Amino acid sequence: MDLILCHTTADFDALGAAVGLTRLLPGSKIVLTGGSHPPVRDFLALHRDEYPLIERRSVNPEKIRSLSVVDTQQRDRLGKAAEWLDLPHLGEIIVYDHHLGQESDIPATRSHISSVGATTTLIVEQLQQQEISLTPAEATVMALGIHVDTGSLTFDQSTARDALALAWLMQQGASLSVISTYRDPGLSLQLQQLLTEALENLEYLCLHGYTVAWVTLKTDAFVPGLSSLASELVELTEIDAILLANEYPLSESDSRLTVIGRSQIPKTNLNLLFQLLGGGGHSQAASLNLRGVDSQAILKQLLDGVKAQIPHPLTARDLMSSPVRTILPETTIAEAQRILLRYGHSGLSVVDKGQLVGIISRRDLDIALHHGFSHAPVKGYMTTNLKTITPDTTLPQIESLMVTYDIGRLPVLENEQLVGIVTRTDVLRELHQERDENGEEGEEERQKSNINLPKLQNKLAPQLWQLLTIASQEAEKRGWHLYLVGGAVRDLLLAETAGSLMIKDIDLVVDGFHKSADVGAGVELAKALQQLYSAARLEIHGAFQTAALLWHKDPELDSLWVDIATARTEFYPYPAANPEVEASSIRQDLYRRDFTINAIALRLTSPRSGELLDFFGGLLDLQEAKKIRVLHPNSFIEDPTRIYRGVRFAVRFGFEIEPQTEEFIRYAINSGVYDRTSQENTKTPALQTRLKTELKHILEAPYWKSALQLLDNLGALQCIHPTLKLDGLLLRQLRLLERCLRRFDAEQTLIHWQMRLEALIAHLPPEYRVKVAQNLQLQDDSIVRLKNLAQSFSQVMDYLPTFERPSQVVQLLGQYDLPMLILIALQSPRSLRHRIWEYLTVWANVQPLLNGNDLKKLGYKPGPQYRQILDDVVAATLDRVIKDRAEAEEFLAKHYPL
C-alpha cells in the first residue's frame, strides 16, 4: 500500500498536491491525518468520492510500502500517522513541500522542495513532464490549492511557475465556478463572532511607519479557519502585520496555544521567527501550535521579533541622486536639450543665485523646440510651482507625493539648498526590489542582496579585510558611505575557498555629498589611510577625482593597488577618447560602468553594511545566467577596450557573451567608427594606451589563446589594425612562439606577453608595423625591433640558405638579439627555422678551446688581435677543423705564428 499523507488541518494546497500525486503514483491512497480547514471540509462533503481518500484508522501499518508527505516537513504535523515514518519495512519516504529553510525531521529518502507559491505546483510540473492528463475534478482541486496558497497569484511568494501551473490546470478542465465558490467562502458564524471580538480587542503599535497589531482570543475548543480570520483582520483594518493568538483548554491543567502570523512589511520573515518556537510557514505567513505555555510570554516574544525585523524606512537621502545637474534661468532651450542628451536625464533643475526656482522636463523642452523656440531661455517654460522634500522624507511619503500630484521628480532641499533629486525611476526601482525581496522566492534573493559580512570576511585574506574595515571606519567618521565596487565584488561573489582570496586590485567609491563630502572625498579618504599605512605610496589623479594607494612587495599586503574614487559620472566627448568625469552618486557611478557583473557595489559602512547594490541584474548574470552583458548600447562605440575586457571576462570565467551584447560589438566594429575617430583626433587613448593595457592583461593570462580566438571571431582584432586576422599562418606562428619561449627563455628574462604582441604586429605588412607599435606606445626596443624586422628577415633569407659552414651561420645570426631571432624564425620557412633553432640550441653556446690567459702563456702579446684570434678558434671549432686543445694550439701555430 502506497500512502500520501496530508498534514493535520489540511488546506487546499495539501489536498490538491495529494490528489495530483495519486496520478504520479497509480494505486496510492490519500490519508487526511487530522481534520481539515472548513472550506476543505465543505468541499469534500460534496466531492469526496472523486478522490481516493481513506481514513487513518482503516490502514494496516504492516501493509504500507511507501509514504509520500505533502506540504510539510515536520512529523508533528502528521498527528498519529507520524508513527508510520518509523516502520522498518518502508521502502521509500518522499517529501513534497514549498517551505524553504526548514529543518526537516522526516527521514525522507527523496525530497522535492522548491521555492514556489504552492506545493501543488511541484506536482503539476511533474505531471506535465510525464504527459499525464487529469479529470476536471482532479484539475479543480489542484487549481484550488494554487489559488488559495498564492491568493490567486497576488501573494508575494507567488511565482511564474504557479501561473503556468494554473494555466495548464485550466486546460485540463478546472471548474472556475467551483474555484470561485471555495477560494473565498467567507467566515463561518463562529469566526464572524470572533472577528467582532478581535476588532474590539486589537492592540496596535506603530514603528518606522508600519502598523503591527496583535490579539489573543480565548475559546472553549479548537477553532478551524483562524488563518481566514487573520487575513480578514488585515484587510479590514489595513494593518501591516498581525499576530492572532487562540488559546483553549485541553484539560484542567493543560491548554493549547495557536498563533497565526501575517505580514505585509518588506524584509520581515515570520517563518524564521516561528521556527524558533517549533512553527513555520512562509516569510509573510506562518503559524505555530504549543501546549502548556504562557501565551502572553510567547506572544511578546513573537512581537519583539517582528519589531526587530521591521526595517528602517528608506528616505530621500538613500534614494536621491547627488549632486544635482543644474542650469540657470537664462540657459537656452537648445543648450538645456544638449545637456539632457549628454547626461541622459529626463529633467533639469533651474537655480538662480543658489536658490531652486524651477524644473524643466524633457517634455517641456520638446514642446519648445517643436514651436521653434530653441534660443529662448528656459525660464519661460520651466515649472515654478514646485513640490520639494527633505533628506529625511520617507519612501512612502515620496511615493504619495508623486502619485497625488503626478510628479516625476522631487528636489531635495536641506537648509533651503538643493542637495539632491529623487525621480520616479528611483522610487519604482526601490519598490520593485522590495517586492523581489519578499515572499518565499525572495528568501534566496534576500540572501543575495544582503551579504553575510562574516562569511565575506572568511573568504578574504585577513589583512585585506582589516584594510577594508579601517577604510569604512574612516569614511563613517566623515559621514560618508563607502562601497567596494567592480571586480573585487565580482571575485568575492565567485570565490569558493575560505580565507585565501588576496585581491591585488581593489576599487573603493565614496558617496556622501549630502553629508558634506565634496569632489575631493576620495582623495581625502586616501590621505587619511596613508597616515595609517605609511608603507603605501599615494598617487592623486585630480582630473578623475581619484587617488591610489600602492604597496610594493609589502610583507602583508604584497603588491596591492587600492583605487579610491569619489562617486562620479562620465561623458565621452568622442569615441575612444578619455571620459570627462563629474561628481555624482553611487547609482550613477555604477551606471557608467561596462558590464553588469562589474556594476555591483557592496556597502561597507553602517547602518546597512553588507547591502549589495545591483541595479542592472549583475548578480543574476554572474551566478546563474553566466553571461557577459553590457550596460549601454553605445558602450563599445565610446570605448573599444570594453570589447577586450568583455572577451577577457568571458574566457576567464567560462561565460558567454550575451547575444545582444555581441550584436553591439559587431555593430561598433563594422561601423568604421574607430577608423574615423583615429583620423579625426590625434589622441584616442582607448585605441592606444588603454588598448595596450587590455592586451597586456589578455596576453599574460593562461587563457590568452582562447581570448585571441574569440576576439578574432568578433572581428575585434581590427582595433589593433584593420587588416589583422588570426589566420592559420598566424596561429602556427603563435604556437611556434610558445615553443621558442619555453626552450630559450625558461627563466623568463624576456617579457612574454610583449613578445606575443610583437608577433601579432609582425604578422602585419611591414609598412604598418611601426605605426601600430607607436600607436600602442610599446617600449623603444620593441618599436626598433619591429622597424628593422623586414630588413633583418630579408638579410637572413638571402644569406642563410647559401651558408654551408656553421661559423658562417653564427657570424650572420650573432648580430641579432634573441627576440629578433625569434620573430625572424616565426616568419621563416621550416628549413631556415631549423638552422636558426640549431644556432640557438648548439652553435651559439660553443666556447673557444683557448682563452686570453692561454694565449698569454703561449707567448702572444695582449692586444686587439686577441679578439680576432679567439673568433677564428671558435669558427674552426664550429666547422670541426679543430676538436681539442692540442689541435687548437696547432691551428694557432699555423695561422698566427709567433
The pLDDT of residue 436 is 47
Whole-number Å distance between alpha carbons of 136 and 138: 5
Give the H/E segment covering residue 580: strand 580-583
Residues 362, 366, 367, 368, Cα dihedral to 10° = 100
**pLDDT 10s digits, 63-106:** 999 999 999 998 888 999 999 999 999 999 999 999 887 778 99
Whether omega for the bond prior to residue 329 falls within 30 degrees of 0, making it cis, is: no
Average pLDDT over residues 299-316: 89
Element (H, E) at 889: helix 885-895
- Is residue 753 within 8 A of residue 760, CB to CB? The reply is no
Q: Which of 135-144, 635-644, 862-871 has the lowest mean pLDDT?
A: 862-871
Alpha helix (H) residue ranges in 105-257: 119-129, 136-150, 160-171, 176-183, 189-201, 226-237
CB 112 within 8 A of CB 125: no
pLDDT reading at 544 higher than 60: no
How would residue 456 be classed by pLDDT, with cut points 50, 70 and 90? low
Band of residue 861 on the pLDDT scale cut at 50, 70, 90 = confident
Work out the average pLDDT over 6-18: 94
Residue 413: pLDDT over 70:
yes
Cα–Cα distances in Å, from 772 out to 182, 641, 721, 738? 76, 16, 7, 23
Q: How confident is the model at residue 786 (pLDDT cuts 50, 70, 90)?
A: very high
C-alpha cell at 606: 553602517
Binning pLDDT at 50, 70 and 90, where does residue 455 land?
low
Checking if the pLDDT of 443 tops 80, the result is no
For helices 780-799 and 752-762, give the axis angle rounded to 10 degrees: 60
Would you place residue 519 in the very low, low, confident or very high pLDDT band (cuts 50, 70, 90)? low
Residue 238: the pLDDT is 81
pLDDT band at 582 (very low <50, low <70, confident <90, very high): low
Q: Which residues of 703-718 are buried (b: 16+ CB within 10 A; e: fewer)?
A: ebbbbbebbbebbbbb
The closest of 782, 751, 786, 752 to 769, measured between CA atoms, is 786
Output the DSSP codes for 669-736: HHTTHHHHHHHH-S--GGGTHHHHHHHHHHHTSTTHHHHHHHHHHHTGGGGT-TT----HHHHHHHHH
What does the pLDDT look like over 105-120, one tens digit per residue? 999 999 999 989 999 9
The rounded mean pLDDT for the chain is: 87
Tens-digit pLDDT profile for residues 787-837: 999 999 999 999 999 898 999 999 899 999 999 999 999 999 998 999 999
Asked whether the beta carbons of 786 and 762 are under 8 A apart, the reply is yes
Confidence of residue 517 (pLDDT cuts 50, 70, 90): very low
Q: Which residues contact 160 (CB under 8 A, 6 or more apart)?
A: none
How far apart CA 791 and CA 766 sit, in angstroms, is 10
Grid coordinates representing 602 are: 557592496
pLDDT for residue 542: 66
Give the C-alpha distances (Å, rounded to integers) separating 245 from 74, 203, 219, 224, 285: 21, 12, 11, 13, 14
Q: Take residue 858 and report the three cell numbers written for it.
A: 703561449
> How many beta carbons lie within 10 A of that of residue 489, not counting itself?
28
Task: Give residue 572's pLDDT band: very low, low, confident or very high (50, 70, 90).
Answer: very low
What digits encode the pLDDT tens for the residues 211-257? 999 999 999 998 888 888 998 898 888 899 999 999 999 998 899 99
| Average pLDDT score over residue span 199-214 | 91
* Residue 171: partners with Cβ closer than 8 Å, 6 or more residues away: none
Residue 215 CA to residue 218 CA, distance in Å, equals: 10
The pLDDT of residue 330 is above 60: yes
pLDDT at 448: 37
Task: Please determine, for residue 289, whether its predicted confidence score (pLDDT) is greater than 80.
Answer: yes
Closest among 37, 31, 33 to 13, alpha carbons compared = 37
Condensed to tens digits (0 to 9), the pLDDT of residues 554-564 reads 888 989 999 99
Q: Report residue 267's pLDDT band, with 50, 70 and 90 as the boundaries.
A: confident
Count other Cβ atoms within 10 Å, centred on residue 737.
21
d(CA 157, CA 153) in angstroms, rounded, equals: 8
206 sits in which H/E element: strand 203-207
* Segment 495-506 mean pLDDT: 77
What pLDDT is stored for residue 437 in this prediction?
Answer: 46
By mean pLDDT, which of 75-79, 750-754, 854-858 is the weakest?
854-858
C-alpha dist (Å) from residue 565 to 321, 465, 489, 547, 606: 17, 19, 16, 6, 19
Provide the pLDDT for residue 438. 44
Residue 8 burial (CB < 10 Å; 0-12/13-18/19+)? Answer: buried
Q: What is the pLDDT of residues 592-632, one digit of tens each?
A: 888 999 999 999 988 778 888 888 889 899 988 899 999 98
Q: How confident is the model at residue 574 (pLDDT cuts 50, 70, 90)?
A: very low
| Residue 71: strand, helix, or coil | coil
pLDDT-above-70 percentage for the chain = 92
CA–CA separation, 798 and 803 (whole Å) = 10
pLDDT category of residue 445 using cuts at 50, 70 and 90? very low
Read off the pLDDT of each residue in 386-396 and give the average, rounded to a whole number: 90
Distance CA 100, CA 118 (A): 12
pTM of the predicted structure, to 2 decimals: 0.61
Beta carbons within 8 Å of 81's beta carbon, 6+ residues apart = 5, 31, 33, 34, 56
Q: Provide the pLDDT for residue 700.
A: 94
Question: CB neighbours (10 Å) of residue 529?
Answer: 21
